[in-house]
């Protein structure tokens, strides 16, 4: 039997995916596959390319392996470029002169990096960022360089900048457009991304047109810009966009677009019906798709047609979620829709340094697009709303508020609104029905789901939603649901907390070695860091812990919208002497800091540059202040009224008790931030019932309220116990908090924890008051041990010359950041407000750091 010969030119991610799809569909083995790769290796994961600089090898990135191709009967040729197509006689010609016949030809030639026509762009240490060989050349240049510049501020450009920074080079990004990632982000998202990246030490230069690269004085080269400015560097990496690799198609006389790209129809056919084009080389509907997911979709269409199955390409979702230089960024759907065609809502969280923008239809019933920077937890939910055009809550601005979103009955029913054809994973076109089918065939965890469906193995953005659907179906079928923290740990957060506590494990690496796999991720690292800190309370910047921390914890301060930091000293219960108040004023005056009294009864000093932080801490520590832990998932404040000390209604000395509580629990780390309050009477001036731990004085003692929340979704605290004496109250608080630390999920507030706790408040009373689990002695001992290791992290850092090196803007200079822009509002310095685009109709600024 003569098999139909399918020749695939290009063995990148899309070409390899085509082969995988054909092998899965061609059950009768009617097709013979022959593939060519220009590179000296088979397909590898270009999406994860930057991980090459953080320890992954070429073998780790490999998608195709010779033994697998051999076993599947796929003929492969590496390091062989196809130079010509003879359409009349239906064969291709290789650079080595071989003629390979085909029945159908698949062009998966991809794209090539665009190098701007700059004088000097071919110098020895000028590179492109596209292949593993490119990365090897960049790494070699990095060994001989001190400064590196990336020309291009798009996705790949920022990936390249991350690579340079990982090589410990002083790193610059030069972008011609007014902002970074102009295709994926709006102006607000691009500006916040710039601020966050510059805060990490990468200098960003926008609106810069590079004219030439010449020999430098201070460095190997000098970049000359059109505006007359210059920039010294030792190496240059070009990442200024891509161009479709269509030279082979042009030689064969196939129809091309005006600006390049091989024109295809809905079946991915070119102007020659026996030749197909897929991926970045293909031009569909006058559009080039520069992401891998649309290429995969084209590959599936072409593979289906090769196997006699009707299919068509109708476009693809360009949504993406990724981490650039440690900054979470996501783009969904249409992000540049004008306000005439839609409603636009945005939320700027100055505390968490995040930006969210949603675009909904003019009628307010459909989500069109979204931009997320800094906090992308809602990506999966928003993506499903957009992909499947689900109804939105009323008002649609609730989409910006995850806690309110979770509480909305319209959203809790979302899973029921999705039919089996609803798309879950856009990278591999996996729908809800396929996940249900995988469960029916024995899938019980995410590892199996990824293997059986490939869901969440592309960009990973659908992982949360895919897991939710899988677990819902497992529960419906009576299976025990897997609550593993992530793919690196086959344990829940609660189980890991028990392992760390019982086994006395002190570091993430020890836990990973004994109980995990791989290198860890952005889910398990901070979760384990929180557990370790809660139980052992080590200095978080110890070498074995520092890699687990986020930016705020690394620099012991809250990073603000302009890349500066806020300094929040602890002021227990808000009580402060005039002398200390004067010190705070003098420090603020000396460093020209914006000063605000917070809702937690302390003073926040905004606008400190990185190099100023140790100077400010020294003045404050010498004056008797300590860190207020405003940057950590920890006990923040204990708010209080003046109580019986001054108030004629006060039933007890709430001020003294609040000070004692704050001094007792300061520095306690937990799954999420914790806020306390103590009111001297039921008039409740301290608003204790809206706090995680609330205490109210009565004639007979203290009433204890727990799990209140004054955030986006307000929750009244539950009365836990009444008329308690001081010792019993503290005993109960110890037990409640340590039980919460043991059993809560990652980043779970006490309010959500209690709502999800089986048995609720009654069960918690049984555990804490009646000792139903016989663990109260343990809980108290663990709390005492954790609190005994308290230290002021500012003071510890000041005593470490090694750690102080971290607090400078540039690797080779102690110069301040001179690029910050300010204005004066109400006699105080604030970041400059840039002109608004006019697209945003609702803006929320969150500044509560209390």
Residues annotated in the binding site for siroheme, as ranges?
685
Tell me the torsion sign for CA atoms 754, 759, 761, 763. Answer: negative
Main-chain dihedrals φ then ψ at residue 295, nearest 5 degrees:
-65, -40
Instruction: Return d(Cα 832, Cα 844) in angstroms, integer.
Output: 17
Main-chain dihedrals φ then ψ at residue 652, nearest 5 degrees:
-155, 170
Taken as a whole, the chain contains a residue count of 850
Alpha helix (H) residue ranges in 516-653: 524-536, 543-546, 551-554, 578-590, 613-622
Q: Which residues are annotated as a binding site for [4Fe-4S] cluster?
A: 641, 647, 681, 685
> Is residue 239 within 8 Å of residue 283, measured between CB atoms?
no
Upper half-sphere CA count for residue 21 (Cβ side, 13 Å): 25
Residue 711: exposed, middle, or buried by beta-carbon count in 10 A (0-12, 13-18, 19+)?
middle
Question: Which residue, chain included where needed, has tokens 């690579």?
Answer: 163
Order of strands, sheet of 594-597, starting from the edge strand that comes earlier in the sequence: 558-559, 565-567, 603-608, 594-597
Q: What's the start-to-end Cα distance of the chain, in Å?
A: 76
Number of helices and strands in the chain (H, E) = 29, 39
**Residue 294 φ/ψ region, left for φ over 0, alpha for ψ in the -120 to 50 degree band, beta for the rest:** alpha
Q: List residues bridging with 106 in a β-sheet.
A: 8, 276
Instruction: Return d(Cα 184, Cα 491) in angstroms, integer.
Output: 36
Q: Chain-centre distance of CA 701, in angstroms?
A: 46
Instruction: Return d(Cα 362, Cα 344) in angstroms, integer.
Output: 9
Upper half-sphere CA count for residue 169 (Cβ side, 13 Å): 31
Pairing mode, strands 282-284 and 111-113: unpaired
Tell me the torsion sign for CA atoms 237, 240, 241, 244. Answer: negative
Q: Which residues are annotated as a binding site?
A: 641, 647, 681, 685
Q: Chain-centre distance of CA 226, in angstroms?
A: 35
Indicate the helix (H) or strand (E) that contains 82: strand 82-86
Instruction: Return d(Cα 323, Cα 459) in angstroms, integer.
Output: 10
DSSP assignments along 381-430, one per residue: HHHHHHHTTPPPPSSGGGGG-HHHHHH-HHHHTHHHH--TT-EEETTTTE
């Amino acid at each position: 039997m003569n098999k139909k010969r399918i020749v695939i030119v290009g063995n990148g991610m899309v070409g390899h995916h085509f082969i995988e799809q054909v092998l899965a569909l061609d059950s009768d083995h009617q097709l013979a596959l022959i593939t060519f790769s220009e590179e000296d290796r088979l397909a590898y994961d270009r999406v994860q390319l930057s991980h090459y600089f953080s320890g992954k090898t070429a073998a780790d990135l490999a998608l195709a392996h010779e033994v697998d191709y051999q076993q599947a009967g796929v003929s492969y040729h590496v390091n062989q470029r196809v130079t010509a197509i003879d359409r009349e006689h239906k064969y291709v010609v290789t650079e080595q002169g071989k003629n390979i016949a085909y029945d159908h030809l698949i062009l998966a030639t991809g794209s090539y990096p665009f190098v701007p026509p700059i004088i000097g762009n071919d110098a020895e240490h000028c590179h492109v960022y596209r292949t593993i060989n490119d990365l090897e050349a960049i790494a070699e240049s990095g060994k001989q360089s001190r400064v590196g510049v990336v020309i291009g501020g798009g996705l790949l450009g920022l990936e390249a900048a991350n690579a340079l920074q990982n090589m410990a080079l002083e790193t610059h990004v030069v972008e011609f457009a007014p902002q970074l990632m102009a295709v994926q982000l709006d102006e607000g998202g691009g500006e916040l991304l710039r601020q966050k990246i510059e805060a990490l030490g990468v200098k960003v230069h926008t609106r810069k047109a590079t004219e030439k690269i010449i020999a430098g004085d201070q460095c190997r080269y000098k970049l000359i810009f059109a505006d007359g400015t210059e920039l010294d560097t030792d190496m240059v990496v070009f990442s200024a966009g891509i161009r479709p690799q269509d030279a082979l198609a042009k030689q064969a006389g196939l129809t091309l677009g005006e600006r390049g790209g091989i024109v295809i129809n809905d079946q991915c056919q070119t102007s020659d019906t026996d030749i197909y084009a897929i991926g970045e080389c293909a031009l569909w509907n006058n559009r080039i798709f520069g992401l891998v997911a649309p290429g995969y979709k084209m590959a599936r269409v072409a593979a289906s047609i090769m196997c006699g199955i009707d299919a068509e390409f109708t476009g693809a979702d360009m949504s993406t979620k990724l981490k650039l230089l440690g900054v979470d960024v996501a783009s969904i759907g249409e992000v540049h829709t004008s306000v005439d065609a839609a409603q636009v809502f945005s939320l700027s969280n100055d505390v968490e340094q995040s930006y969210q923008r949603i675009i909904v239809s003019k009628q307010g019933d459909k989500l069109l697009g979204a931009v997320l920077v800094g906090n992308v937890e809602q990506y999966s939910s928003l993506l499903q709303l957009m992909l499947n055009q689900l109804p939105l809550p009323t008002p649609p601005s609730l989409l910006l508020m995850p806690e309110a979103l979770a509480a909305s009955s319209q959203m809790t029913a979302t899973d029921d609104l999705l039919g089996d054809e609803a798309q879950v994973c856009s990278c591999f076109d996996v729908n809800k029905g396929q996940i249900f089918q995988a469960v029916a065939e024995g899938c019980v965890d995410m590892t199996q789901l990824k293997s059986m469906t490939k869901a969440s193995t592309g960009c990973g953005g659908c992982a949360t939603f895919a897991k939710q659907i899988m677990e819902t179906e497992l529960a419906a079928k009576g299976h025990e649901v897997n609550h593993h923290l992530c793919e690196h740990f086959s344990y829940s957060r609660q189980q890991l907390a028990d392992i760390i506590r019982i086994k006395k494990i002190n570091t993430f690496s020890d836990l990973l070695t004994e109980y995990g796999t791989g290198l860890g991720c952005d889910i398990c690292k901070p979760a384990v860091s929180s557990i370790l800190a809660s139980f052992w309370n080590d200095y978080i910047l110890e070498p074995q812990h520092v890699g687990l921390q986020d930016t705020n914890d690394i620099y012991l301060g809250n990073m603000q919208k302009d890349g500066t930091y806020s300094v929040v000293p602890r002021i227990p219960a808000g009580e402060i002497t005039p002398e200390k108040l004067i010190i705070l004023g003098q420090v603020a005056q000396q460093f020209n800091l914006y000063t605000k009294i917070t809702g937690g009864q302390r003073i926040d000093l905004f606008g400190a540059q990185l190099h100023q932080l140790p100077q400010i801490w020294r003045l404050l520590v010498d004056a008797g202040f300590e860190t207020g832990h405003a940057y950590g998932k920890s006990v923040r404040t204990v708010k209080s009224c003046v109580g019986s000390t001054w108030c004629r209604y006060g039933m007890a000395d709430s001020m003294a008790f609040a000070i004692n509580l704050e001094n007792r629990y300061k520095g306690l780390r937990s799954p999420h931030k914790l806020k306390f309050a103590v009111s001297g009477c039921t008039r409740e001036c301290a608003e204790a019932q809206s706090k995680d731990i609330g205490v109210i004085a009565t004639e007979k003692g203290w009433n204890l309220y727990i799990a209140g929340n004054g955030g986006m979704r307000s929750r009244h605290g539950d009365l836990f116990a009444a008329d308690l004496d001081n010792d019993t109250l503290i005993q109960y608080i110890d037990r409640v908090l340590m039980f919460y630390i043991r059993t809560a999920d990652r980043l779970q507030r006490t309010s959500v924890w209690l709502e999800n706790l089986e048995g609720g408040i009654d069960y918690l009373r049984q555990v804490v008051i009646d000792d139903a689990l016989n663990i109260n002695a343990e809980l108290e001992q663990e709390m005492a041990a954790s609190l005994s290791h308290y230290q002021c992290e500012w003071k510890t850092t000041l005593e470490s010359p090694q750690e102080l090196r971290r607090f400078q803007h540039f690797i080779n200079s102690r110069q301040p950041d001179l690029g910050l822009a300010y204005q004066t509002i109400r006699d105080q310095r604030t970041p400059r407000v840039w002109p608004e685009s006019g697209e945003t109709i609702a803006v929320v600024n969150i500044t509560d750091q209390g």
